Amino acid sequence: MRKLFILAALLCLSACASLLTRDLPLLQIAPASLGGARTVQQQLQVSYPGGSVVMESVLQLDAQQLEVINSAVGLRMATLDYDGQNLHAEVLPGMKLPPQRIINDLLMVFAPQPVLQQALPDGWVVHDDGNTRSIVRGKDVIVDISWSDPDHWQRRAVLKHHQLGYTLTIDSSTVE
């Protein structure tokens, strides 16, 4: 009976792992290509089947680094430092999304279309009209993004990840 329980647990873990690894590898996008230096306050809401999570975030960007500090109910959940190639993450156990996915989602939302297209693997295509963006692999739309402001760093952006079944809503405002 114990062996059967262990086998069932391993199957569940491998199913979860396959869900987590169906995503892109860490995108290689230089922070300098995301625009000028800025500090942005954000509220992030991740909605997924069965629930949602809301976090506050401060994003600091300069030519060398993108730093993201996520907190929930006043507790720092994660500090992510990304230099365009490497991601260093300090994460508390309660964090729901993997750090790589957070960075990739932010890059898919905020990177200019030609920069994002160049960073994606072969077979992936970015369709962008300035108000909406679709990221397609083969014939499948993997991600849809919409913005409420022509300055994508302001107000609301919504990312729908069709393959992994979640929606990320980002409400942003630049800190002066």
- Domain coordinates in residue numbering, the chain: 2-174
How far apart (Å, rounded) are the C-alpha atoms in residues 136 and 143?
Answer: 7
- In 68-99, which positions are buried (b, 16+ CB within 10 angstroms) versus exposed (e)? bbbebeeeebbbbbbebeebebebeeebebeb
As a whole number, mean pLDDT of residues 5-30 equals: 51
Percent over 70 (pLDDT), the chain: 86
Which pLDDT value is given to residue 65? 97
Q: Going by CATH, does the domain composed of 2-174 fall within 2.50.20?
A: yes
23 — pLDDT class (breaks 50, 70, 90): low
Closest residue by Cα to residue 158 from 143, 173, 170, 172: 170
As a whole number, mean pLDDT of residues 33-50 equals: 94
Which pLDDT value is given to residue 32? 96
pLDDT digits (tens, 9 = 90+) for 100-157: 999 999 999 999 999 999 999 999 999 999 999 999 999 999 999 999 999 999 999 9
Which two tokens mark 106? 């932010």
Which positions ≥6 away from 150 have C-beta within 8 Å? 130, 131
